[in-house]
Amino acid sequence: MAIAKRAKAAGGTLPGDCVGDKPTGLLAKRPVLAEFLSNGQFEDGSARQLPTLLLFVEEGLWKACLRDKAEGEVAWSSDLTLAGLLDALEHGLNTHSLDWRKQKPWVPGKGGK
């Protein structure tokens, strides 16, 4: 069986929860997080590289790595529920209380086999 190609968003638009000015779904109650993830411009109008949000479950906790590519920094958070984790990220972005750390550059071959 062949694998179908995924459709690409046209013209740099964002799919799903981030279309337009009003987020829906998981981001509907988290407008600061939605804006942080989807806004490709800084306040001065210059282009901003969009961040990434990695979500996973480990040892019974939801965990997130929020990577601000524009600033070269990452922030980690965890919670017992996905909703609690997203709320924590929303609160941290809104109050500027996330513990941002400089992103360490990836080095090929480092870390063993």
| Strand ranges (E), 1-113 | 52-58, 61-68, 73-79, 101-102
Q: pLDDT of 34-83, one tens digit each?
A: 999 999 998 898 999 999 999 999 999 999 999 999 999 999 999 999 99
Counted domains in the chain: 1
With respect to residue 22, please indicate whether it lies within any of the assigned structural domains.
no
With respect to residue 56, please indicate whether it lies within any of the assigned structural domains.
yes
Residue 92: domain span = 50-104
Q: pLDDT of 76-107, one tens digit each?
A: 999 999 999 999 999 999 999 999 999 888 78
> 1 is written with which tokens?
């069986």
pLDDT at 17: 46
With respect to residue 24, please indicate whether it lies within any of the assigned structural domains.
no
With respect to residue 45, please indicate whether it lies within any of the assigned structural domains.
no
- 3-class DSSP state of 101: strand
Distance (Å, whole) CA 102 – CA 107? 15
User: What pTM did the predictor assign?
Assistant: 0.75
With respect to residue 4, please indicate whether it lies within any of the assigned structural domains.
no
Q: pLDDT of 24-35, one tens digit each?
A: 788 889 999 999
With respect to residue 65, please indicate whether it lies within any of the assigned structural domains.
yes
With respect to residue 55, please indicate whether it lies within any of the assigned structural domains.
yes
With respect to residue 36, please indicate whether it lies within any of the assigned structural domains.
no
Q: Give me the count of residues in the chain.
A: 113
